[in-house]
Structure 1
Amino acid sequence: MAQLLHTLRQQVVPYPNDHFSGRGIVLTVGFNQLKFLKVNLKMIELTATKLSIQIWYTSSQISHDNMIELLRTAPSINASACCFITAQCRTLTQVWQLNATRVYNPKLDGLQTYGFPYKPAAIISATFSEVLFLDCDAFVTRDPEELFISDPMYLKFGALFYPDAHKSRQDPAVWTVFNTSCAEHEYEFDSAMILVDKRRVWNGLYLTKLMNDHNQVFYRHVTDGDKDTFRLAFRYMQIKYYLVMTPCSTGSFDGTRFCGLTLCKTDSLSQHIYINHIHLFKYENIKYSPITLGYTRIGLGDFYNNSYFFQHCQLYNGPTSCFHILKKYNEKMTQDNCYYGNISLEEIEDHAYMLNESLVSEKSKNNRVLMSKTNNFMPNFVENLIKYLK
């Protein structure tokens, strides 16, 4: 693997300064994701964002006509469908040819079931110089253009990533192969949302694409799908990034216990929730309802200087697995780090936040876990999501 990495590093091409421009949202879609993408476009439309959107697909899976029908879902947004195979983009009214040498077609390397390699390929192929990438089931809750303009850690590093609820599971030898410091205590990435300035982090992105082209090697021995190829590629190329360690999840609350079923994403200062990745529903056949999406739980403050407990696990005889967010590890933990205790009443708040009102308060300086009805944090999110999913 070390030799393969060395070879791939030599294949990284320079950033094409004269090709990319502007900011935009990028998504990829396969045939089984069309339902979620339609909802995603409707949710983007509700924010009235001025950002352009590019949806990348392959005509071997989805026809051009199907993509046009998809665009009709949200006619008021500036969206185009871009095909890897033909190197063309199309809207409801026009079709244009891209520079085929700047369309970095993914290689599936025998991978039949999942389209993970399309993600980094779409990010570097999109005509934007700054990209917000979203999975089809990662839904916006407010206009994300603010992140490009004013997020301090994005402006500093040029790359924001978000955690999955798992500490690194790589074999210790991996860190040596990738010539990087051991990050066994760092969380793995949830690549459902990625914010990057391609000009500044191009080498890391391009190596990520190449690693995904060789998915039979890297998925088998290093990472679960595409998500940690970003982390390891950036580390190998010595490209700095910022991991937004604000644990946040939407789920159900029965008055005693909270079961988180999504991974929601904030800005780097934890002021607002921008994206809600409806994570476990598709894996565990959970019904979308005001109950399963009713409450949201978030850890506020400085994650790096506290003992927040953030874990994904399933209690014995539990109907589903859950995301657990606690202020610190405590005695009500099972051996596999599942929390079986009750939610503290002091953590529950019933305050409807205004659009520009920050979740962070004076109390957050000492770190706090906050839980409230989801619509208090993300107005009308639950109703709109359920309406569009029907």
Structure 2
Amino acid sequence: MLSLPRSPVMRLLILVLAALIVLAFSVRNRSLPDQNYWDFRQQQQQQRQRQQLPAEGSKERVPLSSFKVPENLYLTHDVAIPHNIPPWTRADTEMLGTSIGFTLKAEMLRQEYRPGEDLTGHPERINFAELSRAERLYKALWNHVYPLYQSLSGRDREREQQLLDMAKTRPEVDFFLKLERRLYPWLHYGRQSSLSLHKTFKGKGLVFCAGNGQFEFVVTSIQALRSRLKSALPIQVFHMGESDLSPERQKYLREMASGIEVVDVTQILDNAHMQLGGWAIKPFAMMASSFEEVMFVDADAYFLQDPAVLFDDPGYLATGALFFYDRTLFPDWTEGSDWIKSMLPIMSTFPSMSRMFNLQSAHEQESGVVVINKKTRFPGMLAICKMNGKWERDLYSYKVFHGDKETFWVGFEMVQEPYAFMRNYGGVIGQLREDDDQSVCGAQLHEDHQGRPLWWNGGLYRNKNSGVYTYLDFGYWMSGGGRQEHRERFTRDKETMIQVLTDLGIGSSNELELEPQDPLWDFGESCLAGGTVQTLTMREKGLANGYVGIDKIAREDGAKMYNGESPDPRRHNWDTGTA
């Protein structure tokens, strides 16, 4: 038998150690205290976040982020919680003077291509993985230099000159200006930096883009807002010069309703670098717009509510960016997610739960309506534009995705900005399929966060993609599904989970079941089946079918312009849809 040491101090230490071992063993083997299950689950979640371990049931590590949103937002929106990009520090500035800093600058400031240069056949000249690193570095610098610019006095030109003078003695300011010129050269059109452009943003408004080919569409869409919904939001219509939208059509747009400005984007941003065409104008128009809070609207998109409600949407208010889901189409497509993974080793919480990453749909975002606060999400807006640059889109983003659609949320991922998706997939609005009262056929519908019809994209025709240009008889709609409000992964705290269980009429999370399969699209016929057929309200029917009358006037005037006439939009009664 071992005896204790004679020293009183050693005896005391040994006894204390033994007591601690016994206490630890008893606590380890004791059953959990009688406490609420959700309190314990919340403790587990907090511990995982502290340790940066995967959350229960998730596929990725919890991101290092200080960004927070209200917990109940997860019941109506899918929210991207980004990683924090560390702020620029004095140590970073000092590093620029080292051999490592010299090498970093040489890599970050390399030129991909010159204005007018043809990169066809040379995709290796564009490296999106390196581009993403450069843009995240730029974001840290922008957040560092912006307060310096704000502290300067005088007019914008005077401030910019002071910034140029500052760059002579402050290497991080010099690096910022050079990196911006490398990444976003189209910004420097009559200005020395993005900061002077950013300073001009103010107010809220709508942005449309239209050339001669979209003229009739945009007339109908704008008149639907002004004459039927009585929306008072200011509107800017962007084009790419008189060869894109004729002076006669520009004059018509300005005169047809109040609060409409027609703007040539190439007079604000440098088209020698952008080389705009087609869909690519959309993000650049949003950037060039004078609005601080900007909502882009497709020329053939129509609302059933005043679009102003989206500026008060909880997801937009929480993140500064609101996107809408596209239809669920073409599963088992891997090219999009594979490309994103190849260039973005750091991603927010969103991609892992997206349909694209889970091979449920080739499409994620519908870009017919996009809402962004440019004051708070400026680096994200720049990254979106970069993905729509001439060779970025021709060699990569438009080849991988269907045009500009995914460039919005992927651009935000490149610089780790937060954003929210309205949690309902693209549905349908229109009429019942002939001989089938369980299918609705027509245009792609999107709901608000309360599940009511809000806007649709695709015009007023039965199926324009198949050349069926007969007007729809609007009477029905069907949700595309995807609300998934009962999924446990969206309810992270006790109060929210209890509310969900109460709403569903069940007593335990063990009774939760996966949502039934979302309705299925007949893409060729533009019909959706498998969901609940819902009837539009009398007001919604009146609005939607009333837009047809407006469209007939727009098409008559468009035909007259084509024949060299100059119709006057002010002579029409747009409220009643009569010429």
- Cα distance in 2 for residues equivalent to 1:56 and 1:295: 33
Q: 1:281 to 1:301 in 2, by over 3 A?
A: closer
Structure 1: segments with no counterpart, 5+ residues: 88-99, 315-319, 328-346, 349-370
Q: 1:177 to 1:122 in 2, by over 3 A?
A: same
Aligned position for 2:280 = 117
Q: Is 2:258 the partner of 1:131? A: no
Q: 1:126 to 1:307 in 2, by over 3 A?
A: farther
Structure 2: segments with no counterpart, 5+ residues: 1-126, 139-182, 185-192, 488-514, 553-579
Q: 1:277 to 1:377 in 2, by over 3 A?
A: farther
Offset, 1:308: 4.8
Contact 2:439 2:529 in 1 (8 A): no
Offset, 1:108: 5.8
Q: 1:68 to 1:310 in 2, by over 3 A?
A: farther
1:235 to 408, 413, 426: 413
Q: Is 2:471 the partner of 1:309? A: no
Aligned position for 1:52 = 234
Offset, 1:300: 7.2
Q: Is 2:271 the partner of 1:71? A: no
Contact 1:106 1:209 in 2 (8 A): no
What SS does the corresponding residue of 1:127 show, helix, strand or coil? coil
Offset, 1:8: 5.7
1:56-205 alignment runs, 5 A limit = 56-59=238-241, 60-73=243-256, 75=257, 77-85=258-266, 87=267, 100=268, 103=269, 105=271, 109=275, 115-148=278-311, 150-166=312-328, 169=333, 170-179=336-345, 180=347, 181-182=351-352, 183=354, 184-185=357-358, 188-205=364-381
Offset, 1:63: 2.3
1:114-159, CA deviations, whole angstroms, 9 ceiling, x for partnerless residues? 51110000111100000111000011222111221x3111111111
Aligned position for 2:86 = none
1:215-226 alignment runs, 5 A limit = 215-226=393-404
What SS does the corresponding residue of 2:371 show, helix, strand or coil? strand
* AA in 1 matched with 2:130: Q
* AA in 2 matched with 1:131: V
Aligned position for 1:366 = none
- Cα distance in 2 for residues equivalent to 1:324 and 1:216: 32
- Cα distance in 2 for residues equivalent to 1:377 and 1:383: 10
Contact 1:262 1:278 in 2 (8 A): yes
Contact 1:299 1:325 in 2 (8 A): no
What SS does the corresponding residue of 1:20 show, helix, strand or coil? coil
Aligned position for 2:215 = 34
Offset, 1:107: 5.2
What SS does the corresponding residue of 1:192 show, helix, strand or coil? strand
Q: 1:153 to 1:377 in 2, by over 3 A?
A: farther
What SS does the corresponding residue of 1:133 show, helix, strand or coil? strand
Larger strand share, 1 or 2: 1
- Cα distance in 2 for residues equivalent to 1:173 and 1:83: 34
Number of matched pairs: 320
1:230-379 alignment runs, 5 A limit = 230-247=408-425, 248-253=427-432, 254=434, 255-270=436-451, 272-278=452-458, 281-291=463-473, 293-298=474-479, 302-303=483-484, 305=487, 306-314=515-523, 320-324=524-528, 326=530, 347-348=532-533, 371-372=534-535, 374-376=536-538, 378-379=540-541
Q: 1:143 to 1:8 in 2, by over 3 A?
A: same
* AA in 2 matched with 1:232: V
Percent sequence identity over matched residues?
A: 20
Offset, 1:382: 2.9
* AA in 2 matched with 1:140: F
Bigger Cα Rg: 2
Q: 1:313 to 1:4 in 2, by over 3 A?
A: farther
Offset, 1:173: 4.0
- Cα distance in 2 for residues equivalent to 1:78 and 1:68: 13
Contact 1:188 1:228 in 2 (8 A): yes
Aligned position for 2:63 = none
1:71-118, CA deviations, whole angstroms, 9 ceiling, x for partnerless residues? 333x2x311101123x3xxxxxxxxxxxx4xx4648565x7xx51110
* AA in 1 matched with 2:545: E
TM-score between both structures, scaled by the size of structure 1: 0.73
Contact 1:104 1:124 in 2 (8 A): no
1:267-312, CA deviations, whole angstroms, 9 ceiling, x for partnerless residues? 2232x43322126733222234344x33211267833533451544
Q: 1:7 to 1:238 in 2, by over 3 A?
A: closer
TM-score between both structures, scaled by the size of structure 2: 0.51
What SS does the corresponding residue of 1:176 show, helix, strand or coil? helix
* AA in 1 matched with 2:247: H
Name the stretch that deviates more: 38-47 or 256-265: 256-265
Contact 1:104 1:121 in 2 (8 A): no
Give the CA RMSD over aligned residues: 2.8
* AA in 1 matched with 2:381: L
* AA in 2 matched with 1:278: G
* AA in 2 matched with 1:209: C
Q: 1:34 to 1:230 in 2, by over 3 A?
A: same
Contact 1:106 1:121 in 2 (8 A): no
Q: 1:125 to 1:31 in 2, by over 3 A?
A: same
What SS does the corresponding residue of 2:406 show, helix, strand or coil? helix
- Cα distance in 1 for residues equivalent to 2:437 and 2:231: 38
- Cα distance in 1 for residues equivalent to 2:132 and 2:472: 47
Name the stretch that deviates more: 242-251 or 6-15: 6-15
* AA in 2 matched with 1:238: Q
Larger helix share, 1 or 2: 2
Offset, 1:251: 2.7
